[in-house]
Amino acid sequence: MNDLVISFETIEIGDVPKVGGKNASLGEMYQKLTPLGIRIPNGFAVTAAGYRLFLKENKLSQSIQEKLSKLDLDNFSNLREVSREIKSLILHGKIPDDLAKEIVHSYQSLGGSNRINPDVAVRSSATAEDLPGASFAGLHESFLNINGEQELLKAVRSCFASLYNGRAIKYRHDKGFDHLEIALSVGVQLMVRADKASSGVCFSIDPESGFTQSVLITGCWGLGENIVQGAVIPDEFLVFKPSIEKGKRAILSKKVGSKTKTMIYSENGGVVNLDTSKEKQKAFVLNDEEIEILGQWAIKIENHYGMPMDIEWAKDGLSGDLFIVQARPETVHADKDPYLLKEYALIEKGELLCSGYAIGGGITSGKVKVIFSPSEADQLEEGDILVTEITNPDWDPVMKKAGAIITTKGGRTSHAAIVAREMGALAIVGAEEALETLSNGEVVTLDNSSGKIGKVYGGKLKWKTTEHDFHGLTLPKTKPMFILADPDKAFNLSFFPNQGVGLMRMEFVVNNSIRIHPMALVNFDQLKDKKEQVLIEELCEGYSDKKEYFIDKLSQAIGTISAAFYPKDVILRMSDFKSNEYANLIGGHQFEFDEENPMIGFRGASRYYHERYRNGFALECAAVKRVRDEMGLENLKVMIPFCRTPEEGRRVVHILQEEGIKQGENGLEIYVMAEIPSNVILAQEFSEIFDGFSIGSNDLTQLTLGVDRDSEVLSELFEEQNPAVKWMISEVIRVARKEGKKIGLCGQAPSDNPTFARFLIAQGIDSISFNPDALLKGIENMIQAETQNKTHKNEKVRK
C-alpha cells in the first residue's frame, strides 16, 4: 500500500497534513484508545496525496483557480454559482486507476474473509479541519450506508467535490485559509448500525459555561445526523467526572427530549427520516450503564488529547455495543479566559413569548425575521433576530448577519448551537412555540442571562451589562459563599470568586421541577382530587414508583449544585415551606391545614418528625443520601431550619440517622439555622447537637423585634442594624467561637451595608453568604471591613 490510501491502524494525530483532522483523530484513537477499551470502528483514509493526484490527472487546479477568481468577495453574490461550477468539474472527473484500485482493495479488506462489500460510512476530512479555533463543523459532506465498490468510488468523488461547497468556500475566506492549499482526505469506516438503536454527541466540557468537570451527552433514536442538523430535540445527560473517577454513580441529570424523527438506512442505499413513535419519544435512548460508559470514554479521550473534546457516539442495534465514531477539539472555550466574565441582567419586565435552550450567556433585542431557507437571506437585515425551524451549514452566511438565532428544533449540540457559540452569537434552540408566538417585524428581547433556559420577551426591554476581571483578586479571610436555588445557574456561577454555597434553598427545586407535594406521592392512591391524580400520573411518567420521581428530581438538582462547587462545601437547607406554600403544590391541599400565621406555624424541624410530614421528609433524606453516598459528593452538608428547641434538634438528628444520614460519617456535618431567639439564648445547648450555625437574619430580625417581615406598614421597623438584633447575632457568634463551631450568615445586609459587614467580621464570623447578584459587592465590603478592622487593631496596639 502506498501513500494514496492509509489504514487507520497506521494513522496518528500528527498526520493531519496527510489525512485531515477528522481522519488523523480517528486513526489516533483506533491505535491508542482501542487498548483502553474504547470501541472505534476500523477503516482507512484516502489521503491528501490521493486527492491531489485526482486533481492532477484531471487537470483541475487551474480551472478551479479561474472559477475562484470570479468570486464576489464583497457580497458573495455569486457564491452559489462559483461553487456549482467547481463541484461540477470535480464530479465529472475520473478517479485515477491506481487510486481506485487502492480504495477497492482496502474496502474489501475491511470486511474480512467472510464478508464482501461491507456497509461503510464515507466522511470528508479536510487538512484544515477540526483544529482548535476552526471546527469547519458540517461544511463538507458525509455519506452513510454506502455498499459496493462503485457506490464507494462515487461517494469518494462527492466528498472531494464538497471541499467547494459554498459554505466551505465562505468559511475558508473568513478564516484566512488558502483554498488551493487545503486538500480533502476521505475516511471510509465500517458502518455502526445506529439506525437500529441510537446515536449522538458528547462534550467532555459543559459547552455553555465551559465548566470542565462535567460531560454533556445528547442522544436520539437512529442516526445522529438529526442531532447535528438540529432536526430533533435530543435526550440530554450530564455526568460528573470526579464521581466517575471514584467509581460512584456519576449521572447528575437526565432530560428526555421529544426526538420526533428517527433517521434509518434505506433499503436502496442512503437514509430516510421517519416519525418516531410516541412511546419511543418518551423513552431515554441510553440506560444508566451506557451513559456512564460514554462518560468514562469521554474522560479517556480528553486525557489522551490533553484538551476538551467534541465526540460523536453510536450504538449498534445488532450487537448492542457502543462505539466512538468521531472526536475533535472543542473550539469555543479553547481561547477563553475564565477570569474575564460579563454579567447581564434585565431591569425591565415583559410578556414571555417562548423559551428554549440558551446558547451563549447574554441579552439582546431586535426585529423578528422568520425565514425558512437560506435562499431568503436577502430578507434578513443586519441585527435581525433570525427565527427558523433548523439550520445546516448552508445557513452559516445568513447566521452571521443575525443579531441572534432562534430555532424551534435542535438541542445544545445541534449545528445552530455549535455555530452560534463559535461566532459568539446568542441563540435559543428547541424553542418549540417560536413560530406560533413570534411575528415578522415584531421587536423582541432575547434573554440568556439566567441559566440553561433562554427566554424571549415582547418589546425592547432595558438591561444592564457588567464586566468582571478576576485576575489577581484576593478573597477575604472570611469566606464569601453563595445563596443559591437554581441548579441551572450553578456551573456559570462556579467561575465567580467564592468558597462554596452557604445556603442551597430546596424549595425552588420542589416548586419548579417537582411541583408535587411529597405526601401526595407517598399517598397517591388515597388522593381525593382525581384531576390532580391524572396530572401527577403525567408528571411521573416513566417512574414505576412515584416516590422515586421526587427522589430522582431532587437528587439531580442537589447533585448538580454540589458538583458545580466540588470540593467546596454546599450546605443544603432541608425544606422550609410554610403550610400555605406547601398547600399550593399539586395534591397539597389534602395534606395541609389553614393556619392564622404560617410564618411561625407548622414549618421547619417541627414537620420532619410529625406524622403529617414524616414520610415526606424521608424522601428528602433519600435524595441527600443518594447525592452523598451514591454520587460520592461528600462536600454536601445539611442544615435544619426553624428548630425551636434543643429537644427538637436531637429528634431530627436521630431521624436523619434512621434515614441513613449519620452525623460525622464521611465528613457529614449537620448545621442549624440560628433564626429564632431560642437558638441564641440556648446556643450552648444547640452547639452540643449541631456542627455549626447559619444565622438567618430575616427571621431573627422578625422574631427579635416582633415585626412581620412581609408587612409594608411595619417595614421601617424591620432593621437588622437594630441593637437588639445585633446583640443576638453577636451573642450566637460568641458562643459558636467559644465552642469551636462554624458559624455563618445568609442575607442581603452585608452587601448593602459596609458597616454591617464590618460588624460581622469584627465579631469573628466564619462565612457570609450572598445572593449571586450581591456576591461581588459583598466581597468588596468584606475586604474593606477586614482592612479597617486590622487597622483599628494596630492602632489599639500602638496606644
Rounded CA separation 161/270 (Å): 18
Q: 743 in a domain, yes or no?
A: no
Which helix (H) or strand (E) covers residue 591, if one does?
none
Q: Do 515 and 640 have their domain in common? A: yes
Q: Do 265 and 351 have their domain in common? A: no
Task: Identify whether the C-beta of residue 234 lies closer than 8 Å to the C-beta of residue 244.
Answer: no
Q: Over the stretch 231-257, which tens digit does the pLDDT of each residue have? A: 999 999 999 999 999 999 999 999 999
Asked if the model's pLDDT at residue 2 lies above 70, the reply is: no
Q: Do 497 and 619 have their domain in common? A: yes
Q: Over the stretch 169-200, which tens digit does the pLDDT of each residue have? A: 988 888 888 888 889 999 999 999 999 999 99
Asked if the model's pLDDT at residue 135 lies above 90, the reply is: no
What is the band of 130 on the pLDDT scale with cuts at 50, 70, 90? Answer: very low
* Range name among 11-20, 391-400, 704-713 with the lowest pLDDT average: 391-400
pLDDT of residue 398: 81
CATH of the domain at 176: 3.30.1490.20
Q: Do 205 and 177 have their domain in common? A: no
Task: Identify whether the C-beta of residue 665 lies closer than 8 Å to the C-beta of residue 565.
Answer: no
pLDDT of residue 131: 47
Q: Do 215 and 238 have their domain in common? A: yes
> What is the mean predicted confidence (pLDDT) over 665-679?
97
What is the pLDDT of the chain when averaged over all its residues?
92
What is the band of 799 on the pLDDT scale with cuts at 50, 70, 90? Answer: low
Number of folded domains in the chain? 4
pLDDT of residue 798: 57
Kindly give, in sequence order, each residue whose CB lies less than 8 Å from that of residue 283, ignoring residues fewer than 6 positions away: 256, 542
Beta bridge partners of 768: 480, 745
Q: Over the stretch 503-536, which tens digit does the pLDDT of each residue have? A: 999 999 999 999 999 999 999 999 999 999 999 9
Residues marked active site are found at 415, 746
Q: 746 in a domain, yes or no?
A: no
* Range name among 135-139, 225-229, 306-310 with the lowest pLDDT average: 135-139
Outline where 310-414 has alpha helix (H). 396-401
What is the band of 361 on the pLDDT scale with cuts at 50, 70, 90? Answer: confident
Asked if the model's pLDDT at residue 796 lies above 70, the reply is: no
Rounded CA separation 794/724 (Å): 29
DSSP-derived 3-state class of residue 220: strand
pLDDT of residue 560: 97
Asked if the model's pLDDT at residue 219 lies above 70, the reply is: yes
What is the band of 388 on the pLDDT scale with cuts at 50, 70, 90? Answer: very high
Please state, as a whole number, how many other Cβ atoms lie within 10 Å of the Cβ of residue 721. 12
What is the band of 366 on the pLDDT scale with cuts at 50, 70, 90? Answer: very high
Last residue of a domain, one of 268, 301, 329: 329
606 is in which domain, residue-wise? 479-696+765-772
The residue type at 117? N
* Range name among 139-153, 517-531, 617-631 with the lowest pLDDT average: 139-153
Q: Over the stretch 12-70, which tens digit does the pLDDT of each residue have? A: 999 999 999 889 999 999 999 999 999 999 999 999 999 999 999 999 999 999 999 99
Asked if the model's pLDDT at residue 281 lies above 70, the reply is: yes
> What is the mean predicted confidence (pLDDT) over 672-689?
98
| Global model pTM greater than 0.75 | yes
Q: 250 in a domain, yes or no?
A: yes
Q: 23 in a domain, yes or no?
A: yes
pLDDT of residue 53: 96
Q: Do 550 and 588 have their domain in common? A: yes
Rounded CA separation 99/50 (Å): 7
Q: Do 593 and 484 have their domain in common? A: yes
DSSP 93: S
Pairing of β 767-770 and β 742-746: parallel
pLDDT of residue 48: 94
Kindly give, in sequence order, each residue whose CB lies less than 8 Å from that of residue 763, ignoring residues fewer than 6 positions away: 729, 730, 733, 734
Q: Do 680 and 531 have their domain in common? A: yes
Q: Do 129 and 227 have their domain in common? A: no
Which helix (H) or strand (E) covers residue 327, if one does?
strand 322-329
Q: 112 in a domain, yes or no?
A: yes
Q: 588 in a domain, yes or no?
A: yes
Q: 728 in a domain, yes or no?
A: no
Last residue of a domain, one of 170, 191, 212: 191
CATH of the domain at 370: 3.50.30.10
Last residue of a domain, one of 445, 469, 493: 469
Rounded CA separation 525/522 (Å): 9
SS (H, E, C) 615-684: HHHHHHHHHHHHHHHHCCCCCEEEEECCCCCHHHHHHHHHHHHHCCCCCCHHHCCEEEEECCHHHHHCHH
Q: Do 199 and 184 have their domain in common? A: no
Q: Over the stretch 533-569, which tens digit does the pLDDT of each residue have? A: 999 999 999 899 999 999 999 999 999 999 999 999 9
Q: 796 in a domain, yes or no?
A: no
Q: Do 104 and 142 have their domain in common? A: yes
> What is the mean predicted confidence (pLDDT) over 89-106?
95
Rounded CA separation 564/556 (Å): 12
CATH of the domain at 674: 3.20.20.60
Q: Do 237 and 386 have their domain in common? A: no
What is the band of 395 on the pLDDT scale with cuts at 50, 70, 90? Answer: confident
